[in-house]
Structure formats: C-alpha cells, structure tokens
Structure 1
Amino acid sequence: MKDQRKGIQTFGKAVKTPAFVGSLIIAGIFLIFGTIWNSTFSKYVNITYDWIVANLGWSFILGATAFLIVAIYLMISPLGEIKLGDDDENPAYSTPAWFAMLFSAGMGIGLLFWGVSEPVSHFMTPPVGDAETAGAVHTAMQYSFFHWGLHPWAIYAVVAAALAYFSYRKNLPMLLSSTLEPLLGRDNLFGFWGNTVNIIGVISTLFGISTSLGLGVMQIGGGFEILFGIPNNTGLWLIIIVVITGLAIISTTSGIDKGIKWLSQGNLGVAGLLMLFVLVLGPTLFILELFTHSTGSYIQNFFNMSLGMDAAGEHAEDWYDGWTIFYWAWWIAWAPFVGSFIARVSRGRTIRSFTVGVLLVPTAVSMVWFSIFGGAGLFNQFLGDGGIYNAMLNQDGTIDEAKGFFAMLEMFPFSEVLIVIAMISLTIFFITSSDSGTYVIGMFTSRGNENPPLGLRIIWGLIEGGFAAVLLMAGGLAALQTASIIGGFPFMIIMFIMIYCLIWSLRKEVRDGSLPQERARIYAALEDLREEKKIRKGIIQEQNPNNKDQ
C-alpha cells in the first residue's frame, strides 16, 4: 500500500494549501478584531459564552461521557489487539519518555494552575452541601478527581487512536480528514469537506492552546507578584507572552526528538521532586487519608457526576457552567492538538496498551497530584489559618486562581526557592505546549507532514502567542473559558463522526481477518474451549439422560 504520509515538504508549497490559507484568514480576523476593537470583542465573547453554556451545555456533558464509553470499549474489546502500525513494529518511544511527553502536552500547565486553586475553590463554594465543612473537603477533592480523571484522557485517547490508526496502519496523512476516510474516500481528503475539517481542527487547537498558555501566563505573573511585588496585570502578561513565545520558537527549531522530548523528561522530574517535597514535609497523613477517601467517593459517585446537570437549580449557581462544562469544552478543544501529538509519539503500540497508557496511568497520576498539592491546600484552609483563599482574593472581591499554588508553597521552608522552581516548571510546560502545538498545526496545514517546515511552525507559534494575548486582554480567565467552549463545540461534532469511522474500520479489519497472529491464536483458543464445552455437555447428557438441565 502506498504511503501517503509525507505531506508537503517545503514552506513555499505549504502556505499555498487551502488548509493554511483558510486557517490563517480566520486566525487573522480574530487577532485584528480582538486587538483593535478589544472592548467590543470582549462584549461579544461574554455573550457567546452565556449563550453556548445556557443552550448547549448539556451536549458537552453527554459528549464527554460517550467518549469515555468508547475509550473503554476500545480497551476491553477484541479490537484492542490491533496495532497502531505494522504488526511487527515496536513502540517508537520508551514508556518513560512516552509518559513524559503525554503530560507535558496534555495537562502540565493546568495541573500547576488548578492543583491547589480548584480544591480550595470547591471547598469554599461546593456544588452540593455546606461550605467550609469536613464534608466540603471530601467533595472538593472528589470533583477535582472527576474533572482531571478519566473523562479528559478518554477524549484525548479517542482522537489519538483514530489519528494513529488511519495514519500508521492505513498509511494516510496524519490529518483529521484522514480519520473520516471511510466516508470521504482517499481521493477527497484534501477536497472541500476534508479541508473544512482540518481548518476546524486548526482553529479549535488555537483556542485550546491559547487557553492553556493564558493560564500559564497568569500563574507566572502571580509568582512575580508574590516574589517581587509586581502587579499581576495585563501589562506583565504581555511581557511574559513575548518572552516565553520567543523561547518556544527557539525550542521548535530543535525538533520533537530533542527539544520537546528532553524538556518534557526533565520537567517531569522537577515536578515529581516538588510533589515529593510537599508530600514529605506537608500534612502527609492527611494527604494519604484524603487520597484514599476521595478515590472511593470518585468511584462511588462516578455516574452521578458524569451526567450531572443543574436543571432544577439544586446546586450552587452557575457551578456546572464555570467548572464541568468549561473543562469538558477545554479538553475537547485541546483534542485535535493533544490527540495528534499523542498519536505522533504512540506508533507501534497496540490499541489496548495505548488506551491503558493514555486513559489509566495519567488519571492515577493526576489524582495523586491533586491529593498532594490540593490536599496540602485544603489542610491549611480547613485546619490551618485559611490563608490560601485569602491570598487568592483580590481587593475587589474577585478570585485570582493563579495565586493558589504559590500561596500553598509559602507554607513550606525555602518557599521562595520552591516558587522559583514552580515558575521554571510552568515556563517549560508553556514552551512544550506551544512547541507541540506548532507541530500539530503545522501538520494540519502541510497535508500531514509529520515534520512540517520550520517557517510554518514559527508562524503558528507567533499566532498562538497572539491568541493568548488577545484573550487575556479581553477578560482574563472568563475570556479563556469562552475560547475553549467556542473551539470545543464544532470539534465535538467531528469527534462523533470520527468515532463512527474508527469503529467501522476496526470491525471491518476483524471481519476481513487481517488481525495480528497473536489475535488469531486467541480466536483459535476460544474456539477450542467452545468445542471442549460442547463435548463435555454431550458426555454429561449421555450419563444423565433424564436430567437435561444438569
């Protein structure tokens, strides 16, 4: 079968593709309108957010749950034996390197930004029950597990599995349009509908990445305010964006096997040491007990949380809108980017091992992360002086979530050193997220070239920084949340079509008998067991002719 995955190799040809031109025009309109008419832009951002949440919020709840069901099906069904590549291929990256890149691209900035702020916010304003109580402590951690657990990684896993399957097993370009090949046909991957799907993927990726980068910038700014007293405002954010976007562009010149890989592995080690420090010197017993209890609560209430909505006004006002719906939209908006990057580094793994790695291991690590950092914050808020929430409060009564993580670190010895380390980790996560994003958008706009031209990556790196800057100027966290929801909804529709095409193709492969030899041996063994069962049943009936039910 001819390999169609080379894509466009030169910058000059790439910038002439419909996917690049269409994406650049839409991105340019967004940047120009958001910069010149910022107040009007901010107004319509808020209107859009309110309308989508009020009228389409339920679709994100159902969609995320459906994607989790599909991911579990891929993991436990016979389809899991199929490789994301040729039958005799080995994984392209070692397991430690693979996990490191999953986290750096998938959730690095978010874990640092929300690791303390989210549990403390849920404690002060829980979705159900009374605030600032022992029950609120458990509820806070339970919902933190929920928002950062199986659902988001299932969204990533579904998109990544589809991209890796159609690219590495079917020899198609690593494009979103390739995942719809059963419907579009190979000859129409770059036709109108194929280009439309890829453009939607680019814009969704830009919104998703800009949300993450914006959160990172806000938190780095919070660190500067705590350490040096520099106001954490728009001016500081723009300076940080310019500097770190420049570093990300430098990183992208070194390639995925050097820059992203080395930074990801090193940063995972730094984050792990920081986590160990807080566990050992913090309220260790409280953290361990909270992890155990919250894990049980997460499992016990899993289905209620998965389909939870506030139709009758039972819960805290706008709680689901500001948390669960925002998160699900954010993960979906990130899915083209993170899914493509995970697919890019997952060649050679079976669908089962891939899904286990993407779904279960990161979920467990995220739960440990929130238990340690969020647990330390909750201990201080509930049993200590409650200084973390006060540190997050602005003078006007609004909440600055970016300060929560640093406020928790101030509880420990050498707090200034710890804050500097956390800021460095955030910066690296920013660089790897931006760097990974430029690769993915570069692939989408160069017809699936897995090593897109450097000039193309630089252009998209600059645009990513511009998107983050415009959204921060338009309203900070609220604008970032809106960007995720705007980017997430259209891609969620594409995801459902993508799932249909993936399952159809996998089942066709099973029907055609083109499974790995290991799978064939399993089928033969099952047939032998069935035959043996029939023989034993016949012997029993011969021995007991009057007892047919035995």
Structure 2
Amino acid sequence: MSTPLPITTPAQARLNPIVFYGSTSLILLLTAALMLFPEQAGAWLGRTQTWLSHSFGWYYMLAIGSYLFFVCWVAFSRFGQLKLGADHEQPDFSYGAWAGMLFSSGIGISLLYFAASEPIDHLYNPPEGVAGSSQAARQSIQLMFLHWGIHGWAIYALVGLAVGYFAYRHKQPLALRSALLPILGARRVKGAAGHAVDCFGIFVTLVGLVTNLGIGALQVSSGLEYLFGMTHSNTTLLVVLLVMSVVATLAAVSGVEKGIRRLSNLNILLFSSLLLFVLLFGPTLDLLNGFVQNLGDYANGLILKTFDLYVYTDGAPGKNVEWLGLWTLFYWGWWISWAPFVGMFIARISRGRTVRELVLGVLLIPLAFTLMWLSVFGNSAMDLVLNQDATALAKAALEQPSMSIYLLLEHYPFAKVVIGLSIFVGFVLFLTPADSGSVMLANLSRQGGDLDEDAPHWLRILWSVVITVVTIGLLFAGNFTAMQTVVVLAGLPFSVILILFMVGLYKTMKADCAQADANPIQAMPRVANSELLPPRPTRDAATP
C-alpha cells in the first residue's frame, strides 16, 4: 500500500509564460494575416478547406464515430463505476446545479443563429435529392439533428472525462496535458510536449470563442436593427461587442460558483420560455408530430449519417464534397474546437461524479432540449416558407442568417415583445460559454494553485480582452468567415489528441480496476509520488 503524501500548501497560482505567450502569439499571428491580407488569406483558407474535405472527410467521420462509441462503452462497462476522485468523495455540486451548468456549458447563441436558417438552407441546398421538395424538408431536420446531436456532446464528454479523471483521481493538474500522462510519461507531460498540448488547446479554444463572440454580436445587433429600425453599421456592432464582452468578463471574474451557475439557471428559464411560446402559439399538434418523426429519422439514420460521405449520389461529386465541408465537417471541427474549454469546464464541475454519471449526464441532459428546440423552430420556419410564402424569411436564411429568427417570430402574437425577449435570450446565451471559456483559458495558462482554485482575476480579464480584440479586428476587416474556416482546420490536429486521450483513459482505468481487484480495501489507484499534487480535502456540495 502506498503511503499518502502529507497535506501541504500548494504553490500560489501564477502565469505559465510558455503556454500563455505561445498561444497568444499563434492567435495574433493568424489574426494579423487575416487582417493584413484578407483576400489572399481567405482564398488560401478556402482552398485548404476544400482539400481537407476531399482528403480527410473519411478520417473526420471515423474519428467522430469512435469518440461516441468509446464514451458509451466506457459508461456501460465496469469502468463506469469509477469516480472522478476518491471512492468516498461526494459531488461538489448538487445534481440540479450540476445539470444546469451542463445544460448551459455547450448550448450557446448559435442555437438562435442556426435554428431557423440551417433547415431552410438544407431545404434549398440539399446534399442530395430535389431542392424544395418534401423529402428535402424531412432530410433537413435529420441533418440538423446530426450536426447538433449526440456526436458533439460525446466529444465534450471525452475531454471532460479525461481531464477530470486524471485531475481528481490521480491528482494531476486540471489541464489537457494531464490526460496524456500514460502516453508521454511524467517528464514529457511536464516539459515541452505538455506545454505544446496546452498551448494548442488554448489556440483551438480561442478560435471557437472568437467565432462564438462574432456570431453573438451579429445576432444581437441584427435583433436591435429589426426592433428599433437601426441601420446596420460597424458602430452598432462595436457597441454590442464591447457591452457583451464587459458583462461576460464580469461574470468570469465572479467565478464558477456565483456568476456562471446563476447565468446557467437564467439560461434554462429564458430558453425554455421561448421554446414553449413558439410551440403553443404555432401549429402545436403538427410540431409535436414532427418532433416524434424527426426523432425516428435521427435514430434510424444515426449509423448511416455518421459515416455518410455522399459517395453514391447523383450530380457532380465535387458539389457534395463542398457541401460536406461547409456543413458537417465544419460542425465536427467546431465541436472539437470548443471541446478543450467545455470539457475542462465539465471536469471542473464534476468532481465526485462517477464515470457513468458524467457520460450519461453530458450526452442526455442537454441533448433532449436541443433536439426539441431544433425541431420546433426548424419545422416552424419551413412551414412558413413552404406553406405561407414567407419569402423574406427564406431570403434571410440564405443571405443573413442572424436575422432569420426574428423574421420567424414576427409571424407570432406579441411579436415585438417576444423578439425583444429573444434578443435578451441571445445575450444571456452568449455569456455562459464566453465567461466559462475565459475562466478555462486562464486556468490552462496558469501553473500552481489548488486543483479547484480558478486562475487569478487579472488573467481572466486579460483573456477576455484578447478574445474581444481579435473578434473586432476580424469583423471590421471583413474576414470573419475565414475564421470559421480556421475552426475546421484547427480541429484536425486536435482530433488526434482526442484519440490519445482515449488510449490513455483505457490504460489507466484498466490498471485502476486491476488494482481494485487485487486490493479492494485501497480504493485509490497507486500512482508515483513524483506525479502527484498534494491532496485536497473534500468540500461540501454547493446548492443551486
């Protein structure tokens, strides 16, 4: 039996200069290239995305499918009983608070942005079939469910599980590098290889957060333009960006237990209210029937669509590959780019949970609401376009997606009030990922401190400023679309790290179970003292 380490005071949290300066240099270099050479950079990124779609579409599909299979297998195997922490530890947060933060961690303003626009785009630009047909309408919801469904949440679950398991059960730092301990060994994890993993994780996260802030600003400013008749201008966009960034920074400074948890509860209330309004004041029976059929189509085609590369379709093959790159591969890259910070946030709030609890909670708690939201808004939008000649809505979905949700809501009672509420919902939806993202970026770029101690306030503020400056520069340079392309490209190398996470988790969980069988009295696994951080006493569970 190994001798436990004495409880000592951990070193004070401070900046990790290699990780911080390395990641900021990468993102600022990319931003400078996109701003100084917008046309050349945009053209190069477009060609690169096309090449990636042609050359690595098969790999993305296999990788995403393997992530989903792995987390489900782990949850239902004997590994599912292992805890993120000592076997006697209780969860830090109550189930209600934990579920609320899970719900809000990965559900952002993009659901407002794409809820009405994506299905209409698939309706008129389907990857296969006749545009505008009833079959294209049915397929559009199935494709949207694929893009927003269980595959993406499996990526979050994998990162959250890997980071949380090594942090709380094996007392490693709460960082991406820790999940590679069984692969690289303690010396390399603490050295250049570990710095590179955390550095690139920050870079990928920044790309995703910048995209989120840009979409959020466009969504809120479009709502203000619609509601108050304001003209679309860079001044309006700048004011919206600055206000959103300041509020998100204040929430990030308040920490997980206060600001982020309260925003999560507000998210659930507002989001649910808007969903119920559209459901009850629309063709309710048709929407409920549509939701059930959409679920059936999604379940029936889950395996097929997971590996569908549109090889056997009519028309020019290049068109289908282009569609795949613009939609499915973009989404897979986007989910992967969000995985470092959402996964770390999930790990941060899941101490004391079992592996099975974490996986099933991440996969199922946000999924049911997400699919219901997409079905109700997607079917409502297509009904207006196909049966009520809502040409303005159709045009906006294809040309100005951020305006489509408001043109949908104008067909409902109390339109002005509801649109005003939806603008506020969009603002709150942006805040939770933005502030949790700033906290996790700060945690990744620090060293020292307790496992559950978040990074200093100044470091969170600094990352919020970096995100805001990069977003403003890209939007005003007119090259924000190029950043969305970078999301797909950055996701490719990080997808390899996720595969290594699976290998490391399997090796470590297998060893932990073998040790438990050999010595059932000692619940905690045997780990070399040199690899451990000082243990931390369990704190009481927080209440929502």
- TM norm structure 2: 0.88
Tell me the amino acid that sits aligned with residue 175 of structure 1: A
Deviation, structure 1 residue 475: 4.7
- Alignment match, 1:73: 73
Check the 8 A contact 2:42/2:479 in 1, yes or no. Answer: no
What CA distance in whole angstroms lies between the structure 2 residues aligned with 1:52 and 1:235? 36
What CA distance in whole angstroms lies between the structure 2 residues aligned with 1:142 and 1:388? 24
Deviation, structure 1 residue 228: 2.5
Structure 2 matches for 1:56-135, cutoff 5 A?
56-135=56-135
- Alignment match, 1:42: 42
Matched, 1:381 2:391: no
Identity %: 33
Check the 8 A contact 1:123/1:132 in 2, yes or no. Answer: yes
CA change 1:519–1:354 in 2 (3 A) is farther
Check the 8 A contact 2:163/2:178 in 1, yes or no. Answer: yes
- Alignment match, 1:360: 364
Deviation, structure 1 residue 459: 1.0
Structure 2 matches for 1:233-382, cutoff 5 A?
234-311=234-311, 314=314, 317=320, 318-382=322-386
What CA distance in whole angstroms lies between the structure 2 residues aligned with 1:262 and 1:464? 23
CA change 1:213–1:514 in 2 (3 A) is farther
Deviates more, 1:47-56 or 1:292-301: 47-56
Deviation, structure 1 residue 105: 2.3
CA deviation vs aligned residue, 1:425-445 (integer Å, no higher than 9, x gap): 111222222211111111111
Structure 2 matches for 1:387-466, cutoff 5 A?
387=391, 389-392=393-396, 399-447=399-447, 449=449, 450-466=453-469
CA change 1:388–1:162 in 2 (3 A) is farther
Deviation, structure 1 residue 254: 1.2
CA change 1:96–1:121 in 2 (3 A) is farther
CA change 1:131–1:518 in 2 (3 A) is farther
Deviation, structure 1 residue 33: 3.4
- Alignment match, 2:535: none
- Alignment match, 2:148: 148
Check the 8 A contact 1:31/1:466 in 2, yes or no. Answer: no
Matched, 1:24 2:24: yes
Tell me the amino acid that sits aligned with residue 407 of structure 2: A
- Higher relative contact order, structure no. (Cα contacts within 8 Å, ≥ 6 residues apart): 2
Tell me the amino acid that sits aligned with residue 66 of structure 1: S
What CA distance in whole angstroms lies between the structure 1 residues aligned with 2:153 and 2:520? 30
CA change 1:476–1:110 in 2 (3 A) is farther
What CA distance in whole angstroms lies between the structure 2 residues aligned with 1:431 and 1:401? 20
What CA distance in whole angstroms lies between the structure 1 residues aligned with 2:464 and 2:201? 16
What CA distance in whole angstroms lies between the structure 2 residues aligned with 1:232 and 1:84? 49
Deviates more, 1:307-316 or 1:340-349: 307-316
SS in 1 for 2:87: coil
Tell me the amino acid that sits aligned with residue 372 of structure 1: V
User: Which entry has the higher C-alpha Rg, 1 or 2?
Assistant: 1
What CA distance in whole angstroms lies between the structure 1 residues aligned with 2:399 and 2:5? 56
SS in 1 for 2:490: helix
CA change 1:399–1:167 in 2 (3 A) is same
Check the 8 A contact 1:472/1:479 in 2, yes or no. Answer: no
- Alignment match, 1:483: 486
Deviation, structure 1 residue 8: 6.1
Check the 8 A contact 2:67/2:155 in 1, yes or no. Answer: yes
Check the 8 A contact 2:103/2:365 in 1, yes or no. Answer: no
SS in 1 for 2:446: coil
CA change 1:116–1:448 in 2 (3 A) is farther
Check the 8 A contact 1:87/1:516 in 2, yes or no. Answer: no
SS in 2 for 1:147: helix
Check the 8 A contact 1:148/1:366 in 2, yes or no. Answer: yes
Structure 2: which 5+ runs fail to align?
Answer: 524-544
Structure 1: which 5+ runs fail to align?
Answer: 521-550
Deviates more, 1:308-317 or 1:488-497: 308-317
Aligned residues: 513
Check the 8 A contact 1:138/1:293 in 2, yes or no. Answer: no
Check the 8 A contact 2:393/2:408 in 1, yes or no. Answer: no
Check the 8 A contact 2:50/2:325 in 1, yes or no. Answer: no
CA change 1:454–1:129 in 2 (3 A) is same
- Alignment match, 1:544: none
CA change 1:252–1:34 in 2 (3 A) is same
CA change 1:321–1:293 in 2 (3 A) is same
Deviation, structure 1 residue 5: 12
SS in 2 for 1:171: coil
Deviation, structure 1 residue 111: 1.3
Deviation, structure 1 residue 75: 1.6
What CA distance in whole angstroms lies between the structure 2 residues aligned with 1:392 and 1:21? 41
CA deviation vs aligned residue, 1:142-171 (integer Å, no higher than 9, x gap): 111111111000011011100010001111
What CA distance in whole angstroms lies between the structure 1 residues aligned with 2:418 and 2:110? 18
Task: Return the match for 1:493 from 492, 496, 502.
Answer: 496
CA change 1:325–1:407 in 2 (3 A) is same
What CA distance in whole angstroms lies between the structure 2 residues aligned with 1:417 and 1:167? 46
Tell me the amino acid that sits aligned with residue 128 of structure 2: V
Deviation, structure 1 residue 374: 1.5
Check the 8 A contact 2:183/2:500 in 1, yes or no. Answer: no
Deviation, structure 1 residue 24: 2.2
CA change 1:328–1:6 in 2 (3 A) is farther
Deviation, structure 1 residue 39: 4.1
CA deviation vs aligned residue, 1:72-115 (integer Å, no higher than 9, x gap): 11121111010111112222222232222223221221211111
CA change 1:327–1:477 in 2 (3 A) is farther
Check the 8 A contact 1:83/1:350 in 2, yes or no. Answer: yes
What CA distance in whole angstroms lies between the structure 2 residues aligned with 1:518 and 1:294? 49
Check the 8 A contact 2:85/2:165 in 1, yes or no. Answer: yes
Structure 2 matches for 1:140-179, cutoff 5 A?
140-179=140-179
- Alignment match, 2:185: 185
What CA distance in whole angstroms lies between the structure 1 residues aligned with 2:144 and 2:467? 28
What CA distance in whole angstroms lies between the structure 2 residues aligned with 1:238 and 1:64? 37
What CA distance in whole angstroms lies between the structure 2 residues aligned with 1:99 and 1:516? 34
Deviation, structure 1 residue 517: 7.3
CA change 1:38–1:46 in 2 (3 A) is same
Check the 8 A contact 1:7/1:446 in 2, yes or no. Answer: no
Check the 8 A contact 1:163/1:340 in 2, yes or no. Answer: yes
Deviation, structure 1 residue 234: 4.7
SS in 2 for 1:287: helix
Deviates more, 1:257-266 or 1:55-64: 55-64
SS in 2 for 1:340: helix
CA change 1:293–1:516 in 2 (3 A) is farther
Check the 8 A contact 2:396/2:403 in 1, yes or no. Answer: yes
What CA distance in whole angstroms lies between the structure 1 residues aligned with 2:22 and 2:402? 35
- Alignment match, 2:528: none
Deviation, structure 1 residue 266: 0.9
